[in-house]
Amino acid sequence: MKQNIIIAGSSGSIGGEFTKQYTDDPNVEKVVTLSRNVNNLNHEKIQSIKIDYSNEATFKNLDEISKLDSISKVIIATGILHTDQIKPEKSIDSIAAEDMKQVFQVNVFGPILLVKKLIPLIKKSKGVKIVFLTARVGSISDNVLGGWHSYRSSKSALNMMIKNLAIELKRLNKEHVVIGIHPGTVKSHLSEPFLRHVKHDIFNPKESVDLMTQVISKVSQTDSGKCFDFSGKVIEP
Ligand SMILES: NC(=O)c1ccc[n+]([C@@H]2O[C@H](COP(=O)([O-])OP(=O)(O)OC[C@H]3O[C@@H](n4cnc5c(N)ncnc54)[C@H](OP(=O)(O)O)[C@@H]3O)[C@@H](O)[C@H]2O)c1
């Protein structure tokens, strides 16, 4: 059966590449793209829906997809590290409550409220793979550098939500799989200000998505709740 796929953050570098690849996939019937601005990607398979995590009223727009028979994958490729006003904090002194709330709104609250809204559709589908873009810096055991307080801790919180959701969805249907995936360091709006400091490989979005697509296709029920990197290696919490 042909697949229906939902991609949040389709306007981003990584979400945009996932959208392109799944749209080109002959096994995919429909790609529902979610973004703050309606996509101008002109393709008959794409249904574009406007949602903004900072405005929960926009989640109502998702009612449009309740008529789908089923979905097979949800890719959540949204996230912020910085905005025009927000910079990742180098020290505790620079933490500001409103900025931290905004980072959590986009990196944690939005994605999980999105999945909450999709639960009726997930319930009528079999073996849905829900993939959250997370980051290695959300791993507590891997943290040796410190800093980036809001971003790091938002990704740690997201990783906990991934685990919780995996446990809960398993009770609904053992075939559902929920994972987090770290894309590597990828050229994008999010990473751009920091790339000059990077000493390891930097991927373009296609390289990263090619690798992540392999990981996503291989994960099964026993992997649900875990976080992986782009090569399929488990990232310890
Ligand atoms: N790039 C990297 O090196 C890297 C490394 C580790 C993890 N990641 C993770 O990978 C994911 C994708 O990042 P990326 O590099 O592709 O970044 P990106 O190009 O900046 O894309 C970020 C996406 O998030 C969306 N977004 C931001 N604020 C939103 C809001 N209020 N409501 C709904 N959507 C919102 C953006 O939409 P707009 O276009 O409307 O702003 C955009 O689609 C993120 O979760 C990030 O943390 C990236």
Residues with Cβ within 8 Å of 132's Cβ and at least 6 positions away in sequence, in order, are: 76, 111, 158, 162, 178, 179, 180, 181
Q: In total, how many domains does the chain have? A: 1
Please tell me if the CB atom of residue 102 comes closer than 6 angstroms to any atom of ligand 1. no
Residue 235 included in any domain: no
**Interatomic CA distance for residues 201 and 204, integer angstroms:** 10
Residue 9 included in any domain: yes
Q: Atom 46, ligand 1: which residue's CA is nearest? A: 79
Residue 42 confidence (pLDDT) above 90: no
Residue 234 included in any domain: no
Please tell me if the CB atom of residue 193 comes closer than 6 angstroms to any atom of ligand 1. no
Q: What is the pLDDT of residues 46-105, one digit of tens each?
A: 999 999 999 999 999 999 998 899 999 999 999 999 999 999 999 999 999 999 999 999
Residue 86 included in any domain: yes
Considering the entire predicted model, what is its pTM? 0.98
Mutational test site, ligand 1, from 6, 14, 209, 230, max ligand atoms within 8 Å of CB = 14
Range(s) of the domain holding residue 101: 3-229
Residue 236 included in any domain: no
Residue 32 confidence (pLDDT) above 90: yes
CATH number for the domain harbouring residue 76: 3.40.50.720
